[in-house]
Amino acid sequence: MKSLSFLLIKDVGVLSLVVLLFTLSAYGIFEPQLISAVEDQTVITLSVTSEITISNPGNISMSPSIPGLTGGSATGTATWTVITNDSSGFSVTHRASSTAMLGNTQGDQFDAYTPATAGVPDYTWSIAASAAEFGYSVISYSDGSSVATIFKDNGSACNTGAGVTFNRCFKDASTTAETIFNRTSETTASGIGFTIDYKAESGSSAFTVEDTYTATTTVTAVTN
């Protein structure tokens, strides 16, 4: 009986040793698989939409007053500031309700300015002594390169060159929207400004009737 018991204990011991060795071998085989690092990437997206704002400079009072018999000229300027985060920038159009500046009560008017070459602004404003005319020009002190080409100059002529000069390159106002400014990238947080310079003149023999004369224009900024 002792021999049998010893043999059983011996067999159990051998079996336990075999199981232990197998377990250790299996751990050696599978353990690297259990502790190897795994990763997963997650992409997070967010859309930022495009917005645009334009300031309102208010109404413009041209000055000085023009003597109706002897004639003279008057100007009025206003600056608009556009802010946009649109990566393609923005464009601005100018449209007049009438090409002329109309008298409020008497029916007289300042006609549309007539450049020497139709459609091309005059570098130097000039009208006949018998004429009374109204026109405008565009400049920008913060982004002159974005001013429409027709308002740029080379120092002596408009619609050519890269200069943007105050009191130069006047044209007639149009009842059809005309692009006056085009920027191809977003603005700064403080925006980009452009200035429209309006001018009216009554020639020395024009005989302009006493009245208050008014022109209404619409300036529109849209993202590109």
pLDDT at residue 36, rounded to an integer: 80
Q: Which residue, among 212, 197, 57, 179, has the nearest Cα to 113 in the 3D structure?
A: 197
6 is a domain residue: no
pLDDT at residue 122, rounded to an integer: 98
pLDDT at residue 82, rounded to an integer: 98
Question: What pairing do the DSSP bridges indicate for beta strands 132-139 and 109-112?
Answer: parallel
d(CA 35, CA 106): 95
DSSP, residue by residue, 64-114: SPPPTTT-EEEEEEEEEEEEE--TT-EEEEEEES-SSEEESSS--EEEEP-
Instruction: Confirm if 70 and 38 have CB atoms less than 8 A apart.
Output: no
pLDDT at residue 8, rounded to an integer: 43
Provide the residue-wise pLDDT of the chain in tens; the chain has 224 residues.
Answer: 445 444 445 555 555 554 455 555 555 555 555 568 899 999 999 999 999 999 999 999 999 999 999 999 999 999 999 999 999 999 999 999 999 999 999 999 999 999 999 999 999 999 999 999 999 999 999 999 999 999 999 999 999 999 999 999 999 999 999 999 999 999 999 999 999 999 999 999 999 999 999 999 999 999 99
pLDDT at residue 6, rounded to an integer: 45
Instruction: Confirm if 171 and 102 have CB atoms less than 8 A apart.
Output: no
**Between the CA of residue 99 and those of 10, 62, 74, 123, what are the distances in Å?**
117, 17, 17, 20
62 is a domain residue: yes
Q: Which residue, among 132, 130, 120, has the nearest Cα to 199 in the 3D structure?
A: 132
pLDDT at residue 7, rounded to an integer: 45
Q: Which structural domain, as residue segments, surrounds residue 169?
A: 52-223
176 is a domain residue: yes
19 is a domain residue: no
Token couple for 211: 């009245």
If one counts the domains in the chain, the total is 1
3 is a domain residue: no
What is the phi-psi region of residue 169: left when phi exceeds 0, alpha when psi lies from -120 to 50, beta otherwise? left
40 is a domain residue: no
8 is a domain residue: no
96 is a domain residue: yes
